[in-house]
Amino acid sequence: MRQTMAVLAVALAAGLSVSTAIARTDVAVELSVGPPPVVYEAVPPPRVGYVWAPGYWDYNGHRHVWAKGHWERERHGDRWVRGEWHEHDGRWTLTRGHWEHG
């Protein structure tokens, strides 16, 4: 019984950490310091059924970190919006890569 309770507690904690991580992807990032220069990544040859998501500078709460380009499974009717930073009045705002309908 104790082992079962311990396993359930670990599973519950793991589930909560996953849902927290998922929820955090939508948090807006705004900084007074812009990202470093873009890292050049060679775009691989096209893959049927996939869209190339280019790399971009993300922010991990402490510093800029490079999020490497990767393949996203194509979603018919949607388009991939690349991750990028925008500057306005000395403030930098991050829009992470995501799918948009239409």
Q: Residue 27: which pLDDT band, with cuts at 50, 70 and 90?
A: low
CA 82 to chain centre: 10
**Is the pTM of the predicted complex or chain greater than 0.75?**
no
Give Rg (Cα) of the chain.
18
Q: Residue 14: which pLDDT band, with cuts at 50, 70 and 90?
A: very low
Mean pLDDT value across residues 7-29: 47
Mean pLDDT value across residues 78-86: 95
Q: Where are the beta strands (DSSP E) in the chain?
A: 29-31, 50-53, 56-59, 64-67, 70-73, 78-81, 84-88, 91-95, 98-101
pLDDT above 70 as % of the chain? 74
- The answer, yes or no, to whether residue 34 has pLDDT greater than 80, is yes
